[in-house]
Amino acid sequence: MKIRKTLALSLALLLSCTAFTGCTTQNNADNTQTDSTTEIQATDYSQGKNWLSVPTELDKEVDVFYLYPTSWQKTNESDSDIADIDNPMMVQNAQLAFQKQATAFETVGNIYAPYYRQEDSSSAMSLTHDEQQEVVGGIPTTDAIAAFDYYIKNYNNGRPFILASHSQGSNIMIFLLADYMKEHPDVYNRMIVAYVIGYSVTDEYLAENPHLKFAQGPDDTGVIVSYNTEAETVLPPGDPVVTPGALVINPINWTRDETLATAAESLGSIELNPDGSVVTNPDGAFKVVKNFADAQVDTAKGALICSTADVDTLAPGNAGFGKGVFHTSDYPFYYFNLRENAVQRTESYLLKHKK
């Protein structure tokens, strides 16, 4: 696949410019590096300001490494298609994404999350799939892999870890899983699970990466969990993150067949305020919304179908996603099931690797 060739080039450039002094670069005010040729220089993750989250207290046995979804859109046509590491819109929206997604895992792990330079949402929609992979496999993936490598070498200290991501973050995560984990099997052996949500993990991808495997149930470990949520009907332009051969697991009953999991079986959803923040109770805890979202795998479409949520309110559609695509609700609909599952898989991993 072309995406793997792109990543291999990005990694080679990153490693060569790290190991040798012959690369021509300049440091910017935001502590990123750019070059005078075509070489990609990673953001400097020894700088604390380039991290969205680094725990100050390590009170869990495992870690979580999180990559947020697309969180910015350029405001002027002349702007770069790739955000600066400190782009105010991206920083603010990344923090909102962290609240509604990454916090699902705060009961089980110490959460690490880098900022990374990412592709503009509107420009991505104007590209073909292969062209998108060329862009995402360049600067965004270079940053994310540099951040993960820095985390492993400086923060992780040999602990087991969970990977979590959404949308563009999950697109990047498939690069990380394919190449970094292949090159570092000792690190991969410590991976409890990778929640690669909001982007497709396909049969073709797994065939090209036989060291990886997709989840089969609720407690297998070293596996990938993935799904993309849609209504029963999706209008044009359709769902751009669902590709042929996409694999799906149901985040309520954790089956891969088409057994319906009713909303009553769910542990609960979260609700968002108009500004994208999570609705809370008076004590500050997230409000648990019961009996809201059901879930059923559609094996033919390669999508997760939710029939109980209001499409007009939560999936009205836009230029990139057709009406009926619950892309932004992938985590909120199944928030508390994801939380419980992370605990379940962690307990399973720790039992298997008990000293």
Residue 294 contacts residue 262 (beta carbons within 8 Å): yes
Joined together, the tokens standing for residue 118 give 């990412």
Are the C-beta atoms of 242 and 324 separated by less than 8 Å?
A: no
CA 95 vs CA 47, 118, 142, 144: distances in Å = 18, 15, 21, 17
Per-residue confidence (pLDDT) for residue 83, from 0 to 100: 93
CB contact at 8 A, 101 and 70 = no
DSSP 3-state of 98: helix
Using CA atoms, how far residue 122 sits from 97, 132, 194, 236, in Å, is 18, 11, 27, 17
Supply the pLDDT for residue 124. 65
Number of Cβ within 10 Å of residue 233's Cβ equals 11
Give every residue of the chain whose pLDDT is below 70, as ranges. 1-38, 124-125, 355
Residue 122: what pLDDT?
74
| Omega before 88 within 30 of 0, i.e. cis | no
Q: What is the pLDDT of residue 313?
A: 96
Kindly state the greatest CA–CA separation across the chain.
61
Tell me the residue length of the chain.
355
Residues in contact with 222: Cβ distance below 8 Å, sequence separation at least 6, in sequence order? 188, 189, 191, 192, 193, 213
Question: How many structural domains compose the chain?
Answer: 1
Angle at which helices 168-175 and 139-151 cross, to 10°: 70
Instruction: Judge contact between 137 and 102, C-beta under 8 A.
Output: no
Show the domain range for 103.
2-352
